[in-house]
Amino acid sequence: MATRTFTGRTFAEALSKVKRELGEDAVILKSERRSSSGSFGIGAKDIYEVIAASSDELKADLESGTEFAHELDVQLKDEKPARAPASQNYEIALLRTEVAALRDQLGELMKYFRYNNLPAMPEALSISFERMTEAGLGRELAADLSNEALVSLGPDSLQSVEEITSFVISKVSQIAPPATNRIVARSNRPYKIALVGAPGAGKTSTLQKLATDPLGYGKHKIGLLTLDTHRMAAVEQLKTFARVSGLALEVAYQPKDVPTALTKLQGAQVILVDSAGCAPGEEQRMNELVELLGSVSPDETHLVLNSTMRLQEQIAITKRFQQVGVTHLTMTRLDESTQPGMLVNISQSARKPIAWLTSGQKFIGQIERYHPEWLRAKVFNAGFAAREFETLSRNNATA
């Protein structure tokens, strides 16, 4: 890989030279401020040095190792071990194992090179990077967004945290897009929205918020259908809610009960469907859920996720519920989450838009539609708020 060194009286000047020579997609490998001495120590001044490379060359170099491993693996698979002696078969098997290990090591090396050898960044960009990681966006995603800002924004913009934040939010809107509200008035049939998720995710409370809050579907004529017959307490809870709210409720115990229940709710504009909590490892219950939802044929299926869970647990749940036909994500208990930025990683992993954000136990005023601008206050300021709280706590403890 051919690297080039650029210098300037300011970081912005050096960076502009990088963009001019290597293009907007250039990769910054290293940057530092150096002191340049004049003659006999007179006239010393600081210069900024940036080492960069073409993104195409870097990608080719990084991929060459994995391509070699792949080609070698293919050649090994083409061998016919049946004709070879046992000792040779053993050597081939051992070589295959080593090739697989080499591929894994190269992958880890690529990740380390990309995310742990980050170049020095302007102060404003460094602040934004810190806010993203503290708020839960994840180091790799935060690094990608920061590097993209570094090569895309002008020198003046790179000195403004606010402008960097706006740039990052515009990129996040592509990674974790908001859902479009497709509810339209129609006379032939209601719009059906099913809520699914693991036990304790907050499906029933989310349904209640959606049914009553004007920011949800409270302005529409609502019908309720519950498939959660595994817990009688859940059915009774919804019956009480429906009675107090003046909403029609139907219960379907089996798939054959669904058509009749939907017919009784035909007068509703929107039918909200509650379902039993299903843990990722409960194969039988997952199959039952798939069958029940098949009878409902929902227009949207929302996977409800508890935002206080660890990121890897939430990603595992999104993968497990793929067979249900999830179309949207809804995040709950955001008032309890210390890392709300995780929802961006979850949406990116699941490749599904985020529909709703909920908090608290009240039916009104604690649900809102997700929009990337929500991140401006909740994510980019949350990290520093948490750090200030920790500092205050330490000061109080030592006082």
- Residues 321-340 pLDDT 10s: 999 999 999 999 999 998 89
| The pLDDT of residue 352 | 95
Domain boundaries, the chain: 3-53, 58-119, 121-176+374-399, 191-371
Tell me the angle at which helices 139-152 and 123-134 cross, rounded to the nearest 10 degrees: 150
Residues 6+ apart with CB under 8 A from 28: 15, 18, 50, 51, 52, 119, 147, 150, 151
pLDDT value of position 110: 47
Threshold 0.95, pTM exceeds: no
Per-residue pLDDT at 37: 56
| Helix residue ranges per DSSP H, 193-269 | 203-212, 232-245, 258-264
Q: How far apart are CA 363 and CA 207, in angstroms?
A: 9
Q: Which CATH class is domain 191-371?
A: alpha beta
Q: How far apart are CA 109 and CA 123, in angstroms?
A: 28
Question: How do residues 79-111 score in pLDDT, each as one tens digit?
Answer: 545 555 555 565 666 666 766 665 655 554 444
Q: Say whether pLDDT at 262 is over 70.
A: yes
The yes-or-no verdict on residue 345 having pLDDT over 80 is yes
- Tell me the per-residue pLDDT of 138-183, one tens digit each, with 9 for 90 and over: 888 998 898 889 888 888 888 888 899 999 999 999 999 998 866 6
For Cα atoms 264, 270, 271, give the angle at the middle one, nearest 5 degrees: 50
pLDDT, position 104: 56
